[in-house]
Amino acid sequence: FIFRYTFSFAIGALIVNAVLLIVYFAIRRFVYKKQLPSWNVRVMALPGLCSGGLWSFGNYCSIYAVIFLGESIGYPSVQSSLIISGLWGIIYFKELKGKQIVWWFFFAFLSLASVVLLSFMKISKPK
């Protein structure tokens, strides 16, 4: 079940991204009359393939987690990975400053609290 879903998802993502890329380049070239950017294939091939492979593996694992844990626990837990991304942005890339960090931590705490509360959610089956 899960392999069929991820394979069709990958093909759909490939088609949609190819179409969007063509549309972007067409608009850039013919509407804005700007030169197309360099592809830099030799430089970007390995990092691009590695990041795409890691993303695909993470997507597969998140689907498996939702199937294994159930939707009420698995999906919020998978989505809480955004908090790790946000921490990378704050600590390593220094994307937020001042009050923005306080608000970010407030909403991160709210999100984590929601994940914990949802993990207590049990739906009993009628007898």
pLDDT for residue 1: 58
Which pLDDT tens digit goes with each residue over 61-108? Answer: 888 888 888 888 888 888 888 899 999 999 999 999 999 999 999 999
pLDDT of residue 122: 60
The pLDDT of residue 93 is 95
> Residue 127 has what pLDDT?
59
- The model's pLDDT over 29-72, given as tens digits with 9 standing for 90+, comes to 999 999 888 889 999 999 999 998 998 898 888 888 888 888 88
Distance in angstroms (rounded) separating the CA atoms of residues 52 and 7: 14
Q: Which residue has the tokens 């199937």?
A: 67
Neighbour-count burial of 63, counting CB atoms closer than 10 A to its CB (0-12 exposed, 13-18 middle, 19+ buried) = middle
